[in-house]
Amino acid sequence: MTDSADNNFDLVILGGGSGGYACALRAVQLDLKVAVIEKDKLGGTCLHTGCIPTKALLHAAEVADAARDSAAVGVKTTFDGIDMKGVNGFKEAVVSRLYRGLQGMIKGAGITVYEGEGKLVGTDTVEVGGQRVTGKNVVLATGSYARTLPGLEIGGRVITSEQALELYEVPQSVVIIGGSVIGVEFASVWKSFGADVTIVEALPTLVPLEDPTLSKQLERAFRKRKIAFKTGSRFTGVEHHDDRVTVSLESGDTLDADLVLVAVGRGPRSEGFGFEDQGVTVDRGWVPTNERLATNVSGIYAVGDLVPGLQLAHRGFAHGIFVAEEIAGLKPMPVIDSGIPRVTYCDPEIASVGLTEPQAREKYGEVDTYEYNLGGNGRSQILQTAGLVKLVREKDGPIVGVHMVGARFGEQVGEASLIVNWEAFPEDVAQFVHAHPTQNEALGEASLALAGKPLHAHA
Ligand SMILES: Cc1cc2nc3c(=O)[nH]c(=O)nc-3n(C[C@H](O)[C@H](O)[C@H](O)COP(=O)(O)OP(=O)(O)OC[C@H]3O[C@@H](n4cnc5c(N)ncnc54)[C@H](O)[C@@H]3O)c2cc1C
């Protein structure tokens, strides 16, 4: 795309996704000369096949539900169905607007972009399209890919999230293998679009990495929405027919569907890029780092999904910024996974930060918890949503976990993140006035209750 007078840089970044481009943008602010090598599109998974397109579909799903259910609030509409061409057009318009903006920012910042697949051929050199690009420091930011299970080959009616974003019609029925974030988000979209959805999850609950109370609440909400799920249930095989696929489970049950979405997690994308040849430790594809995101090879860092831990775009951004500042000598604070907010954008939304109750009990022994039911929240009643806010505090200590479920709770995760990361006590949060009627108020109410002075709740 762009070329530099020479191919020597302060920083060479392999991969222009969330982690890589954030690192590049921060590094140029710190007067470093930066190159990014990208084999596909700047913006990576999040912008093109992850966060943004899925959230566009979820927004269309929300509009469909609002249209379908409008009579409940006295508004007359007719819901005539989903036009996938229109939905895809909307999704693509959002993505391309952001993509154009990102390309403009990268160009405007003076970052040199090399298009093509890069390979580490020296501890300070990446080869791309026959050119050798060297950097005083190298950042590995090659991201992740959709995994599958043995016996579950992707192709035809068996798809990953990538193909799921490209459908030109709404399937009549879908089996989703995996009940974690990506699985429940697509379940939510397709149900709102009118499909019959069944989730198969090997662990005992949906969203098994969340606090058990949230899993239970989501399961209740999905039952109400008639999204079927089989938890504690293992997939054993899939049989392809012309007009459907049959999924078999360990229990002996079989499920027929138009499509099978495989959503069993994402693996690190590192094979064939020369990392091990240059002495970088690679563990089952992941690139482990210390807390300063340095690999075992001096001058080589790794960021984002490639580094074991939470796979989230904002973790990638934070990693990228951290590494740029580290290289510039600013001694930044490390990015700690337990302080990173997590949002699952299904309906109802799930938002959490910090430790779950079982994790907090393991770490602190004694803890106090409070669950504020949204039944007492005015805004939730207007939005006709059910759910709760759960706070977990170290006994007589700060709040160490916030767990929320209900409509629009993704937007509330900011305050939850401040509470946990600033180690606030419920008594501190209770001092802040929360606006009425908002979903945000539920956080205030839960804190008031945990501080021993509940308002619209019982102690
Ligand atoms: C369906 C889905 C929904 C998601 N929703 C959310 C969400 O709502 N919120 C959230 O926080 N996260 C979400 N994520 C996760 C998020 O997309 C990732 O955490 C994030 O993209 C990781 O950023 P990264 O920079 O590590 O990797 P990536 O974004 O994958 O970027 C890596 C880049 O490196 C390039 N590359 C790889 N190898 C090479 C090479 N050898 N040479 C040159 N270029 C190379 C790739 O083309 C890619 O552009 C979602 C993911 C998926 C799949």
State in Å: Cα 315 to ligand 1 middle: 11
β-bridge pairing 349-354 and 342-344 = antiparallel
Annotated domain spans of the chain: 8-146+268-337, 158-264, 348-450
φ/ψ of residue 193, rounded to 5: -80, -10
Q: Say which residue the tokens 């098994």 belong to.
A: 208
Confidence of residue 4 (pLDDT cuts 50, 70, 90): very low
**What pLDDT does 151 receive?**
85
State in Å: Cα 45 to ligand 1 middle: 3
Nearest CA to ligand 1 atom 38: 142
CATH class of domain segment(s) 158-264: alpha beta
Structure tokens, 8: 């020597």
Nearest CA to ligand 1 atom 23: 18
46 lines ligand 1 (CB under 6 A): yes
Q: Which residues are catalytic?
A: 436
Q: Which atom of ligand 1 is nearest to the CA of 46?
A: 17
Instruction: Give yes or no for residue 34 having a pLDDT over 60.
Output: yes
**What pLDDT does 367 receive?**
97
- In this structure, is the dihedral angle defined by the CA atoms of residues 159, 164, 165 and 170, taken in order, positive or negative? positive
pLDDT tens sequence across 96-152: 999 999 999 999 999 999 999 999 999 999 999 999 999 999 999 999 999 999 889
Please state, for a pLDDT cut of 70, what percent of the chain lies above it.
Answer: 99
Confidence of residue 457 (pLDDT cuts 50, 70, 90): confident
158-264 has the same fold as 8-146+268-337: yes
CATH architecture classification, 348-450: 2-Layer Sandwich (3.30)
Contact 229, 417 (CB under 8 A): no
310 lines ligand 1 (CB under 6 A): no
- Per-residue burial over 101-123, b if 16 or more Cβ lie within 10 Å, else e, is ebeeebeeeebbbbbebbbbbee
State in Å: Cα 18 to ligand 1 middle: 6
Instruction: Give yes or no for residue 166 having a pLDDT over 80.
Output: yes
118 lines ligand 1 (CB under 6 A): yes
* 396 against 2, higher pLDDT: 396
Nearest CA to ligand 1 atom 47: 40
**What pLDDT does 458 receive?**
76
pLDDT tens sequence across 363-388: 999 999 999 999 999 999 999 999 99
Instruction: Give yes or no for residue 168 having a pLDDT over 50.
Output: yes
**What pLDDT does 409 receive?**
98
- Rounded CA gap, 69 and 423, in Å? 41
268 lines ligand 1 (CB under 6 A): no
15 lines ligand 1 (CB under 6 A): yes
Average pLDDT over residues 315-334: 98
Instruction: Give yes or no for residue 1 having a pLDDT over 80.
Output: no
Nearest CA to ligand 1 atom 20: 313
Q: Say which residue the tokens 């060297």 belong to.
A: 134
Q: Please state, rounded to an integer, the average pLDDT across all residues of the chain.
A: 96
CATH architecture classification, 8-146+268-337: 3-Layer(bba) Sandwich (3.50)
**What pLDDT does 5 receive?**
53
**What pLDDT does 297 receive?**
98
289 lines ligand 1 (CB under 6 A): no
Q: DSSP string of 156-191? A: TTEE-HHHHTT-SS--SEEEEE--SHHHHHHHHHHH
Average pLDDT over residues 380-401: 97
**What pLDDT does 2 receive?**
44
- Range with lowest mean pLDDT among 78-87, 149-158, 202-211, 225-234: 149-158
State in Å: Cα 144 to ligand 1 middle: 6
344 lines ligand 1 (CB under 6 A): no
State in Å: Cα 311 to ligand 1 middle: 9
